[in-house]
Amino acid sequence: MAPNDPSATDLLAQLVAFDTTSRNSNLEIIDFIEDYLDRRGIPSIRVDYQAGTKTNLFATIGPEKPGGIVLSGHTDVVPVDGQNWSSDPFKVIERNGSFYGRGTADMKGFLAVALACVDEFTKVRLERPIHLAFSCDEEVGCRGVRPFVQHIGAHLPRPAAVVVGEPTSMKVVNAHKSTFSFETEVTGHEAHSSSAHQGVNAVMVAGELIHELNLIAEDLKQRANSGLGYEPPYTTVHVGLISGGTAKNIVPRRCGFVWETRLLPPEDADEVPQRMRAFADTLLPAMKRISQDCGIATRLINTVPGLQPEASSPAESLALFLAQENGTGAVSYATEAGLFQQAGIPAIICGPGSIEQAHKPDEFIAGSELKRCEEFMHRLAKFCAAK
């Protein structure tokens, strides 16, 4: 009883309909995928990240043996909050050959194509396995995938290569920056705003710290190296979240902000936090004169290792063949590719859609990109079926 062959675009619409914003559970989409595979006789296992809310799914098509190819992708998406969408972000609509919806490019398009090709993978009788590794909580710092990478490295026949399907417009990417995320918490001293001199304004101190980050970012820009293929070709510094204060007429006691640096190799990971600390030290004496409880604390909340180009990597040569490309590139966003590489499994990034459209309102993927990804999968099926 062969189930009907669904098209990648049907599957894309089904996957996008699950609101898998990272703060939500991803169990429903995993149930759907698990059931889809199950109906095709493909068993899958879950590797939980947070029991009861977040899980990763791993499935093997073909023989249980080493040397397989992992298709890796995340099931979560970034929030649509505050974004101006011209249509429902969780309902795919087609306009001029492109498919609009949250996650179409980043990266449910890749998942949809991989799933649509499962019947073909089954039919061709694979000599080497194709694995699906669908993860959670990627958009919040490649978190969910960590126990998953560990599990794959420790408990499964070792794969030969991992293809991470982040949107690269089907170009082969063999390098990405590393990311370091920090949270800075400013503790000031509360006062009535008419007596501002008796308080320490945590929001305004945070403003000075953020200004310092701007100056550091400018310095780093001066050290650009365009020879490495990154865009932009320098280390970036960015503040993504800020919160503080309770009312207009209260000198705010607290302000916190979350920031990151994305490092151009081989920049020193400690440089930016050290400069921030040194600058904070210049602000503290004046704050402490008002109250000893004042402080500025910065903590590292997450790091994602970079992906280093590997000479004669089997992942790279395979991906170049599958994508019919003849050169590699580098990207500035982090992926789980660096984590797989750290675990000793060669990894490469190649997926449909453009990062230009990711994370933005009216995110879309061109139908032609889905087609190119399907062709990639057809070649993969042939490659893995060859004796």
Q: Which residue is nearest to Zn ion (CB)?
A: 106
Are the CB atoms for 152 and 133 separated by under 8 Å? yes
Q: Quote the least distance from Cβ 167 to Zn ion, whole Å.
A: 7
Tell me how far, at minimum, the Cβ of 187 lies from Zn ion, in Å.
Answer: 35
Supply angle C-alpha 107, 113, 114, rounded to 5: 95
- Cα distances from 238 to residues 23, 216, 243, 259, in angstroms, run 21, 10, 15, 6
Q: CB 336 → Zn ion: shortest distance, Å? A: 9
Nearer Cβ to Zn ion (156/355): 355
Cα pseudo-dihedral 122, 71, 8, 173, rounded to 10: -140
The size of the chain, in residues, is 387
Considering the complex, state which of residue 170 and residue 213 has its C-beta at the smaller distance from Zn ion.
170
Cβ 358 to Zn ion shortest distance, Å = 7
237 CB burial (10 A radius; 0-12, 13-18, 19+) = buried
Residues forming contacts to Zn ion in the complex (CB under 5 A) are: 106-107, 166
CA 210 remoteness from chain centre: 25
Cβ at position 111, least distance to Zn ion in Å: 11
Q: How far is the CB of 107 from Zn ion (least distance, A)?
A: 5
Give, rounded to a whole angstrom, the gap between the first and last alpha carbons of the chain.
Answer: 28
Question: Cβ neighbours of residue 241 under 8 Å, at least 6 residues apart?
Answer: 257, 258
Give the nearer residue to Zn ion in terms of CB position, either 166 or 363.
166
Nearer to Zn ion by Cβ, of 68 and 103: the residue is: 103
Closest CB to Zn ion among residues 137, 166: 166
CA nearest to 238, candidates 264, 271, 210? 210
- Taking Cα atoms as reference points, which of 361, 353, 292 lies closest to residue 113? 353
Nearest distance from residue 247's CB to Zn ion, in Å? 38
Given the complex with Zn ion, which of 107 and 384 has the nearer CB atom? 107
Choose between 75 and 98: whose C-beta lies nearer to Zn ion: 75
- At position 324, the amino acid (one-letter code) is Q
Given the complex with Zn ion, which of 90 and 121 has the nearer CB atom? 90
Quick one: 106 or 316, whose CB is closer to Zn ion? 106
The alpha carbon dihedral of 40, 43, 48, 49 has a sign of negative
Of 169, 156, 186, the C-alpha closest to 291 is 186
Give min distance, CB of 77 to Zn ion, in A. Answer: 8
Q: How far is the CB of 141 from Zn ion (least distance, A)?
A: 12
- Residue written as token pair 């993860």: 135
Strand order in the sheet with 347-349: 44-50, 54-61, 130-135, 69-74, 161-164, 347-349, 172-176, 328-331
